[in-house]
Chain A
Amino acid sequence: MNTPADLRYCPSHEWVRLEGDIATVGISDHAQEELTDVVFVELPALGRSVDAGDPTAVVESVKAASDIYAPIGGEVVEVNPEVEADPSLVNTDPYGKGWIFKLRVKNAADVATLMDAAGYQAHIS
């Protein structure tokens, strides 16, 4: 199970990479393995304002549709058109090409309140 040390994680299995005031969000390797076979990704509208915990995107496998929650508050400034065209990127490269959306965060310090890799590892084991 791959859990990069430079990311922060939510109990609902999203990861966050903070660069300046931009947070990139995707789902963890553990989550993609549990979901298996991602066949559809529904992306949020650009410019949408979200609070931490808001359902912001949907990732679907054959089995089920799963909400992806905003890890922290902010505005959707970019979405990944590649996962819309090829949803399997969420399975094959969850921390890279499989990213889902980017937020301009309201308060970058909020990211530090999320779990680190060790905390997330403990959460899923």
Chain B
Amino acid sequence: MPVQYSSIIEEHKAVRGKVGIFDISHMGQFIVEGAGATAWLNRMLTNNIAKLGVSQGQYTLLLNERGGVIDDLIAYRTGESSYFLVVNASMIDEDFFWMASHQDEQAVLRNESDLWAGMAIQGPDAVATFSKACPGAELPPRNGIATLPSGEIVCRTGYTGEDGFEFFCPAADGIAWWDKFLAAGAAPCGLGARDTLRLEMGYPLNGNDLSPERTPIEAGLGFFCDLDKGDFIGRDVLAKQKADGPALKLTAIRYTDKGAPPRAHYPVVSAEGTVIGELASGVLSPSLMAGIGMAYLPAESAKPGTSLQIDVRGRLFPAEVVKKPFYKPAK
């Protein structure tokens, strides 16, 4: 996927206003099946996978023993004891190695990442695009997964905050399906717009906002960690952190005035002038035309309304802590 096809702002607006398509073939797909699949995945992942009915999916995290994030992913239940996992491209090998090294004999893990091409079709007109490209077929409900009669996998999920779906087909058919969705009205969108769209929603990006050194509690993802479902890797650390309150919080920050676009690693400075962290992610939001970003900050500086400054090449731009999401899509 290139950074952009036409312009990040145009592509971003296509997704917010109509419909765009992202090539997500680089993402990884794992299959887990077997009589012990549910119990094993519940020990490996933070969310409670036993709550999924067949053909439902959930956002969940894979942690190390210290409670740090190895990866965030979506797990779909495709049968009574079979699952389809979609993981981040850069983490395919590491995820697979970590899971395989904790493998249960009652569950089989398979890496199918090379078999599938993937695309995400996102935006208010995504449903119409689907109907045109797949006449007669029906989209699953929100967070659901379905298999078309011809074998392609359709998931009603995405990374933009808009309605839409993610579509997986055999790798050899990828270009034909891409062209079909373009013909059905989707505008091609690149990595740049993918980043601005997800950040407007406050969705984390692994490698920027998530890391093996930070837990989901610090990242504000406690909702996706079921501490009551039984033991899982990292659970003890999360439970203690939740009880004590995390020292650091992934905090949403928005410029209060015009300024140079915030970017990852720019220092975050308190109103008094002390450096208190650095941006994990930052962009100029095309919807708001304001700088937005996220940073791990001390809990006392993470309250909405707190005045901050972002240091861009030595120049300070005023900003404040806000609630996520930065932007609410029109429903």
Contacts and interface: CB of A to CB of B under 8 A. Distances in A.
Contacts of B260: 40, 42, 58, 60, 65
Interface of B: 3-4, 6-10, 192, 196, 259-261, 263, 283-284, 286, 313, 315
Contact of B286 (A40, A58, A62, A65): A62
Contact of B313 (A39, A58, A63): A58
Nearest to B192: A63
A57 to B, nearest CB: 11
A37 interface: yes
Nearest to A41: B260
A63 B9 CA distance: 10
A61 interface: yes
A62 B283 CA distance: 7
Given A62-B196, A62-B283, A62-B286, A39 B261 contact: yes
B20 to A, nearest CB: 15
Contact of B259 (A36, A40, A58): A40
Interface of A: 36-37, 39-40, 42, 58, 60-63, 65
A51 to B, nearest CB: 19
Contacts of A61: 8
Given A58-B313, A62-B286, A37 B261 contact: no
Contacts of B6: 36
Contacts of B9: 36-37, 62
Given A62-B9, A62-B196, A36 B4 contact: yes
Q: Max chain A CB contacts within 10 Å: which of B7, B259, B313?
A: B7
B314 to A, nearest CB: 10
B8 A63 contact: yes
A39 B6 CA distance: 16
A40 B8 contact: no
Contacts of B192: 62-63
A37 B4 CA distance: 11
Contacts of A65: 260-261, 263
A61 B315 CA distance: 18
A42 B196 contact: no
18 contacts: A36-B7, A37-B7, A37-B8, A37-B9, A37-B10, A39-B261, A40-B260, A42-B313, A42-B315, A58-B313, A60-B260, A60-B261, A62-B8, A62-B9, A62-B283, A63-B3, A63-B4, A63-B8
Contacts of B284: 39-40, 62
Contacts of A37: 7-10
A125 B6 CA distance: 19
A39 B291 CA distance: 11
A62 B286 CA distance: 8
